[in-house]
């Protein structure tokens, strides 16, 4: 079985990771963890010299954060005692919705697992929902893992 896990360092993706770690998977199962580095919108007028350094530094920080998220995820799985999963991890660049869907298709994933941020209607409308887009467009099974209500409230991401 091929499982694709999308993580972003949030408590919601941590819950998805815990769900993967606690399950028994068939021998030979593969888990690919993606921490997608989203592009930073370039809204600065061209005459502003020096902003290029800012964008480079911000992109590096985003890539470093994605790598740290992947390192934590791999470590968590390593300490879970579940030896049935062959784990790989990547931090590709692009739109999280698009990258996860395209990688699932390219890799032949049987299951995509992501956490839900629990956005209410207005936040989903303004920000979009990665999990909602994946459910709507994936060619394989999708599991959306919710965090406990107490975690959602603590993070300020509870339903509106």
pLDDT digits (tens, 9 = 90+) for 14-70: 999 999 999 999 999 999 999 999 887 666 555 555 667 777 888 899 999 999 999
Q: How many domains does the chain have?
A: 1
The mean pLDDT value for 61-88 works out to 89
Res. 158: pLDDT tops 70: no
> Does a structural domain hold residue 120?
yes
What six digits make up the tokens of 144?
A: 């959306």
Q: Confidence class of residue 126 from pLDDT cuts 50, 70 and 90?
A: very low
Q: How are the residues of the chain apportioned to helix, strand and coil, as percentages rounded to the nearest 5?
A: 45, 20, 35
What sign does the dihedral 131-67-149-154 (CA atoms) show? negative
Q: Which two tokens stand for residue 91?
A: 């931090």
Average pLDDT value for residue range 105-131: 73
Note the pTM of the prediction, 2 decimals: 0.82
Domain limits for position 145: 2-155
Tell me what pLDDT residue 129 has: 78
Cβ–Cβ < 8 Å for 141, 108: no
Sheet strands (E) in the chain: 2-6, 29-34, 85-90, 111-116, 141-146
Residue 50: predicted pLDDT: 61
What's the mean pLDDT in 133-147?
A: 92
Q: Is residue 138 part of a domain?
A: yes
Distance, in Å, from the CA atom of 130 to the CA atom of 138, rounded to the nearest integer, reads 11
For residue 72, is pLDDT > 50? yes
In a domain, 160, yes or no: no
At 4, list the tokens: 């694709």
Residue 105 in domain: yes
Report which of 84, 134, 93, 94 is spatially closest to residue 114, judged by C-alpha positions: 134
Give the pLDDT score at 5.
Answer: 96
Segment 131-139 mean pLDDT: 91
In a domain, 96, yes or no: yes
Task: Answer yes or no: is pLDDT of 159 > 50.
Answer: no
56 occurs within a structural domain: yes
The domain that holds 50 is classified in CATH as 3.40.50.620
């Amino acid at each position: 079985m091929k499982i694709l896990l999308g993580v972003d360092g949030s408590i919601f993706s941590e819950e998805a990771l815990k769900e993967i770690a606690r399950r028994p998977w068939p021998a030979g199962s593969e888990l690919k963890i993606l921490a997608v580095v989203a592009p930073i919108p370039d809204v600065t007028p061209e005459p502003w010299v020096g902003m290029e350094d800012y964008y480079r530094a911000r992109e590096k920080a985003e890539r470093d954060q994605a790598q740290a998220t992947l390192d934590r995820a791999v470590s968590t799985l390593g300490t879970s005692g579940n030896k049935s999963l062959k784990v790989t991890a990547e931090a590709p660049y692009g739109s999280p919705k698009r990258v996860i869907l395209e990688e699932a298709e390219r890799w032949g994933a049987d299951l995509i697992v992501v956490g839900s941020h629990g956005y209410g209607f207005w936040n989903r409308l303004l920000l979009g929902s990665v999990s909602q887009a994946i459910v709507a467009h994936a060619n394989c099974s999708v599991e959306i893992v919710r965090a406990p209500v107490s975690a959602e409230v603590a993070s300020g991401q509870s339903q509106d």
